[in-house]
Structure 1
Amino acid sequence: MQIQKDKMYAMLRKGMFGLFVVLDLFALKACSGPEAPQETPVQQSNRIIEFSGHKWLVRNSNNDKQGPGPNYFLDSEENVWVDDEGRLHLKIIKKEGIWYCSGVTLLRSHGYNKYVMYASSRLDQIDENAVAGFFVYGNDTEEIDIEFSKWSKTENENSQFAVQPSSKVDNKFRFNMESENGLSTHFFDWKPDRIEFASFNGHVDVNLEEPLNHWVYKGADIPPDDEERLKINLWLFKGSSPSNNQEVEIIIDRIEIL
């Protein structure tokens, strides 16, 4: 008799749990109107970190080569971590003869906005085969980039502002950045009719200081506000090894979305 009662209570609890799940799903659906921020679907195995007051998905290519590069990407704490000062570290590391790159993606889309990055490492001195990127990405033709690289050519300038496809005339502005004290600030201000880019020495108030490098894009390839995500990555051009065969690291003090 007691066994039958226990079974009955178990079924009752199960039924009530199912009801609560249905109610929760209904509530979520009711709140997901067009004004609600959308988030990137996350697999259970994905690593999430918190940096600059935001949640970020750490990239993992699951032992497959992926673009850009193509390269292997790893989400381990060896190549992506936030230190005790709250700074983000991205690193290209070598494990068992394989170079692994790194990247993070903001879970929420923030659309048209000013995106500011405060760097605390010498982005102007990273290995000539490495690329550090701060960018908004929807797809390969809806992308806004600030990139630091010599693209495997020692004589190249080390930085660029770009709107994809950057192969088009007037979709890219290249320049040399020199970070005297290892600190620099960079932003792009994305609007429906224009994108303004700027870079500064040191950590500065971007609304008060005069930039060292500045570019305004008004061309036909301004991406629409369509759930693009802010990303930061560190990768190897054409999947080549670092030219000095040493690991590569960048440090980001913080980001702001204004």
Structure 2
Amino acid sequence: MTIVKGVGTPQLNPTGSLKFSGYDWRVRMIASVKGGLNNLYDPENAWTDASGALHMQIKKKSDRWSCAEIFLNRSLGYGTYSVTVRDTSHLEPAAVFSMFTFDEWATDQHFREMGVEVGGRHDSANKNNARDEIQPLYIPGNLFAFAAPSGTLTYALHWESGHATFKTFRGRSADAGGQLVSEHEFTSGIPEPGKAILRLIFFAVASDKNPMQKPSEVVVEKFEYLP
């Protein structure tokens, strides 16, 4: 469960739960501001099918868009994190999938947040629809945009002391000789693990030109972690 800070006794927010790729995950149930919108989260928007793949949806609920977010129930620390995601070229322009680290206790360290986002059009002039990033984004060099092609892709983050290397490969495994699509290494402002937990989120962003029009879904075939 997530601790809410405030005056008085800390309260625990309710969460759902699921198993995916051999790990226990919590499922977000409360709203949060993400992508410039106050997104709702519905545990029904995240589930695994008979093959073990994770489905995450954005769909209407009470005339508002409800999204999906899951997070590991423990911190894994340094290592290599990767997710294999089926084709996302069909997504609504305002729909974004992200794998990122987050430590809700580290308010003075930008929540140890870093990750990869895919979907939407962050840089339509250059057709870049994905980006690797480290918070805070106002620091030059903390964002690297790239074009994620259609088809199944594997997104990987290798996190070690002083280094965070993001790689994107075509296909279902970074270890099977898949074609490298993008690679970027950050060497400044890299957070230490602390209590950071990996999260997967599929959410709607604020967009005047291309707001959400219809439901969207991403399918994550697997998650892997190597220490």
> For the structure 1 residues 195 and 244, does the alpha-carbon distance in structure 2 shift closer, same or farther, using more than 3 Å as the test?
closer
Letter in 1 for 2:225: I
Q: Does 1:107 align with 2:73?
A: yes
The match for 1:167 among 138, 147, 150 is 138
Percent same amino acid at aligned positions? 24
Q: Distance in 2 between matches of 1:56 and 1:240?
A: 34
Equivalence map 1:79-94=2 (5 Å)? 79-94=45-60
Q: How many residue pairs were aligned?
A: 213
The match for 1:256 among 200, 204, 224 is 224
The match for 1:148 among 110, 118, 122 is 118
Letter in 2 for 1:147: E
Larger radius of gyration: 1
Please state which structure has a larger fraction of its residues in helix. Answer: 1
| Aligned equivalent of 2:154 | 185
Q: Distance in 2 between matches of 1:128 and 1:247?
A: 11
The match for 1:198 among 163, 167, 172 is 167
Please state which structure has a larger fraction of its residues in strand. Answer: 2
Structure 2 gaps, min length 5: 4-10, 105-109
Structure 1 gaps, min length 5: 1-38
Question: Residue 203 of structure 1: SS of its match in structure 2?
Answer: coil
TM-score with structure 1 setting the length: 0.74
| Aligned equivalent of 1:76 | 43
The match for 2:103 among 128, 138, 152 is 138
| Aligned equivalent of 2:196 | 228
Letter in 2 for 1:131: V
Kept after mapping to 1: 8 A contact 2:2/2:14: no
Letter in 1 for 2:36: G
Q: Distance in 2 between matches of 1:71 and 1:151?
A: 20
TM-score with structure 2 setting the length: 0.84
Question: Residue 108 of structure 1: SS of its match in structure 2?
Answer: coil
Question: What do you get for the CA RMSD once the two structures are aligned?
Answer: 2.5
Q: Distance in 1 between matches of 2:77 and 2:223?
A: 15
